[in-house]
Structure 1
Amino acid sequence: MPLFQLSSWTTNTLAHETTLANASYHTIVLPNVDTLYSEALIDLSRSDVVATMPSLEAGRFYVWPFYDLYGNNFCNIGTETNSTAGKYLIKFRPSNPGCTAASGEYKGIIYMPTVYGASLLRIEVSNTSDANYVVASIQPGFRLSALPSYSPLSAPPLTQALLNGNLTTNNSPLYIMQLTARLAAYNPPEVAADVASVTFMLETAGISMTHHTYTTPSGVDLSQAFAAAQALMFGIITAPGVFESLGNGWAEITPALCGDFHSRYDVRAFIAVQAYLQLQASQALYPTFELSETLFANQTYMLQFFGKPQINGFWSLTMYDGDGFLVPNSLNRYSLNNRGNLTYPDGQLVYGDGSPADSAEDFYMLLQSTDSAVSPEWESNWLPTPAAGGAFRFYLRFYGPTDTLLDGEYTYPNLTAVAVNPPLPSSS
């Protein structure tokens, strides 16, 4: 699935979003609510591009990821890796992509494996006031700019017409095949060894790599083929070696496949649908609960956390509806995290002044529908689920994760079905 579903059509320029995501935000699925985004479409068909990163403010987490045409997060700069302020040169190299060391005036070179790509800068924020500060004082320091044109590559420039002109946009399977035919010859697979086999498969499927057109092969039912591909994609949920159990019903895509999928095209397709623009595991972890089971939409749940997750950045648990969008509620509360007002059962702040960073004391969250008024003792730790028994899902996010979150040292939260407004557990 190609990447280009972002809101800005100006290439090689960062478009800074100036407000935090809320229930009306539908630009991407599973949005963060504690970062400000800056997005860009990258086009190297006519020139190299320069990414300028300002000095990073101590205590704030940043990640500036770069994605190829197909959503592989092949390079990151920011807090965890490549944190040196300055200019980074973005160049097309159809094999061995990634970030390299400083070269001349540049703090590093970012080699992109496809001519077209994208970027989605994420800057940590704490609240609306902090967001206003980030918009005024931090975002403007992050910039993309195209260098003067050189002898262009054979690829056409990236335009809206290229992506949609004369394509069958009201038929998803046909549109995907037509668009792939238009772009594939200029944008090879990330893994160079896959080029020949991928080219053969695409041509067998009806794509002309020479004429950049698609013709459905005789006897092929494209709708059935599309359904079979989707079944294969969702089959990875139970496929060996894709997800790792973290305990208590939580699982995570194995770190080697997180964000940068290499030759696992099935995993890449799954993430494009389920967790668009995923980051590499060095930047963030996205534990999910009970991948193969369904939570009851009209059920209240309690999460028991066994101490504070150990991170270098920040963490959150965010609630989404069945379509992957934020849940409307009277508090406009979409997540609970380490920068809010989470409390222990005795009423003390989990992240208050003087609270040890490595505290192992238990704390709790209540996942309860907006249809039911929450009792006062739960209000700080209440994460609203959809009204009228709507389907929901939730995700943990750990930015700047430590090894404890993957090596079994940290005990993941325990989820229990409970009655509406259950008694608050006593302090451990």
Structure 2
Amino acid sequence: MSSDAAQDLEDAYVYAYPLVLMDTIRAMVTNTETPTADRAPLNQLFHSRDLATPALHSLTRPNVDTLYSQAYLDLGEEPYLLFKPETDRYCSIQPFDGYSNTPAVLGTGGVGGNDAVTYALIGPRFDGALPENVIPVPVSTDFVWLLLRVRCFGPPDLEEPRKIQDSMDLYPLSQHGEEHTYPRGSYTPDLDYVPVQHLQKMDACEYFDRFNSLVASNPGAPEDQPALDRFAALGIGAGLTFDPASLPKSVQERAGQLPGFMGSSKVNESRRMTAIDGWIYLDESIGNFGTKYLYRARIAHGGFANPVDVTAYPSTQVDSGGEPLTGTKTYNLHFEPGQLPPYGDWGWWSLTAYSASGQLFDNELDRYAIDDSQDLTLNDDGSLDLWISATNPGRGRERNWLPVRPENFGITLRIYFPHVSVNTHDWMPPKVTVVPSTEPQAVTQ
């Protein structure tokens, strides 16, 4: 045991966080007998048939640009095969391993592109053969979360992305070439919880017992071994038992402080993010975190994301003066001519507002995002003004209005397949400026 065992315990909590969090989500999401719009038994797909609304709680800071499909897999016994049909629109598949890394980007802009493709998700111990014309996707853990996104151009467009969802299939390797069966799951009322809140109530014993059970089939990477050796001295690791009563008093005291650790100032101050003019950019290590364990845990806690070369996520919670954004004010984003967010093939941009807890806002228009497929009003010189407020800005501005509520909020500008200038910060979003309260705010009926 090291001389700073209490710090080792804290480091172990951080290291284990993505795996324990995702397993906590898995237990809730797979808690159903048959697939629904937001749940499915283990190793089965479920499809959100509508764009995200404030009623969605299974995802934090969801986009309103795509229909989501998801599945939680256990690759311990055999690989699972995923069929994706040919598409003429964005259809991306992001697999997460147990530590929230993304081993490959599949579909549009990645492996397989928009062709009809069958992928094989392969766990770390599989050494068998795959069928011909199947693309292998090795994953370093038995635990896999699949997050699929299909572009939807608003509610009138739902039919087409739903057809793509209906054409997808997920089945075990042993059923390849045979009729597929989908076992019935089970339901337990105790597993109906909000995952992050449930995790925050989990004491250190339950937390590390869960990790110790999971890590046996979800080993860390080779570069994790020095950290895992330190954790083993505390009874944390595969085949071990965490018993705080056998540890020094300083470790026992730290164990009692862990449940609220992810919301602490230490975590918030250590974020590996770039802040420019109030906009926060994610680190390029998203999806391939290496040994950046604290950053990895913070991203998992705040909401999982695409690698930044697939989707850039400039976000802000403050205005141009550094004051928190609040729905009691009206804000303007002014894009100069030729300065709209730049992107490559199959890309687009959207702007979404979220509450402090990462949820969408109810509003009179049922509008939760603005994107460049909408019929926005450009100024005569080609510039674009967007308006953000809790009250309708009126005077012809409603078409470019992103509604919020009279409370603190944040906004995220998603840029899909961003031009390289976005991540080098040669292109920057405009500052969020406060509209003076003396300016008329007539409401458009």
TM-score by length of 1: 0.80
Q: Output the amino acid matched with 1:361.
A: G
3-state DSSP class of the match of 1:75? coil
Q: What is the CA-CA distance between 1:208 and the residue it aligns to?
A: 5.1
Match of 1:364 in 2: 385
Q: Output the amino acid matched with 1:128.
A: P
Q: What is the CA-CA distance between 1:13 and the residue it aligns to?
A: 1.9
Q: Output the amino acid matched with 1:72.
A: N
Match of 2:423 in 1: 406
Match of 1:172 in 2: 202
Deviation by residue 1:108-152 (Cα, 9 ceiling, x = unmatched): 2111111111101001100112112221x2112222211229xxx
Does 1:68 find its partner at 2:105? no
Q: What is the CA-CA distance between 1:104 and the residue it aligns to?
A: 6.3
Report how many aligned residue pairs link the two structures.
375
Hey, what's the Cα distance between the residues in 1 that align with 2:393 and 2:427?
30
- Contact 1:115–1:187 (CA<8 Å) still a contact in 2? yes
3-state DSSP class of the match of 2:104? strand
Closer, same or farther: CA 423–308 of 1 in aligned 2, 3 Å: farther
- Contact 1:94–1:112 (CA<8 Å) still a contact in 2? no
Closer, same or farther: CA 208–286 of 1 in aligned 2, 3 Å: closer
Match of 2:233 in 1: 204
- Contact 1:366–1:382 (CA<8 Å) still a contact in 2? yes
Does 1:131 find its partner at 2:170? no
Hey, what's the Cα distance between the residues in 2 that align with 1:317 and 1:406?
17
Hey, what's the Cα distance between the residues in 2 that align with 1:236 and 1:77?
31
Larger proportion of helix: 2
Which of 238, 243, 249 is matched with 2:273 structurally? 243
Does 1:395 find its partner at 2:426? no
3-state DSSP class of the match of 1:383? strand
3-state DSSP class of the match of 1:39? strand
Q: What is the CA-CA distance between 1:61 and the residue it aligns to?
A: 1.4
Q: What is the CA-CA distance between 1:300 and the residue it aligns to?
A: 2.1
Match of 2:4 in 1: none
Hey, what's the Cα distance between the residues in 1 that align with 2:234 and 2:318?
31
- Contact 1:38–1:121 (CA<8 Å) still a contact in 2? yes
Q: What is the CA-CA distance between 1:268 and the residue it aligns to?
A: 1.1
Q: What is the CA-CA distance between 1:333 and the residue it aligns to?
A: 0.8
Match of 1:91 in 2: 122
Deviation by residue 1:366-408 (Cα, 9 ceiling, x = unmatched): 1111xx3421321011111213xx1211101111112121234
Identical-pair percentage: 24
- Contact 2:40–2:46 (CA<8 Å) still a contact in 1? no
Q: Output the amino acid matched with 2:393.
A: V
Match of 2:170 in 1: 144
Q: Output the amino acid matched with 2:242.
A: Y
Match of 1:223 in 2: 256
Hey, what's the Cα distance between the residues in 2 that align with 1:287 and 1:131?
27
Deviation by residue 1:20-62 (Cα, 9 ceiling, x = unmatched): 11111111110111210000001111111111121121xx212
Match of 1:311 in 2: 343
3-state DSSP class of the match of 1:319? strand
- Contact 1:65–1:77 (CA<8 Å) still a contact in 2? yes
Match of 1:282 in 2: 309
Does 1:192 find its partner at 2:222? yes
Q: CA RMSD in A?
A: 2.9
Unaligned runs of 5+ in 1: 96-102, 150-157, 347-359
- Contact 1:321–1:393 (CA<8 Å) still a contact in 2? yes
Closer, same or farther: CA 160–253 of 1 in aligned 2, 3 Å: farther
- Contact 1:73–1:278 (CA<8 Å) still a contact in 2? no
- Contact 2:213–2:239 (CA<8 Å) still a contact in 1? no
- Contact 2:351–2:370 (CA<8 Å) still a contact in 1? yes
Q: What is the CA-CA distance between 1:263 and the residue it aligns to?
A: 1.3
Unaligned runs of 5+ in 2: 1-16, 30-38, 176-184, 192-197
Match of 1:330 in 2: 364
Q: Output the amino acid matched with 1:367.
A: I
Which of 181, 205, 208 is matched with 2:212 structurally? 181
Closer, same or farther: CA 271–173 of 1 in aligned 2, 3 Å: farther
Q: What is the CA-CA distance between 1:176 and the residue it aligns to?
A: 2.7
Match of 2:329 in 1: 299
TM-score by length of 2: 0.77
Q: What is the CA-CA distance between 1:337 and the residue it aligns to?
A: 0.7
Match of 1:272 in 2: 300
- Contact 1:252–1:287 (CA<8 Å) still a contact in 2? yes
Hey, what's the Cα distance between the residues in 2 that align with 1:159 and 1:105?
35
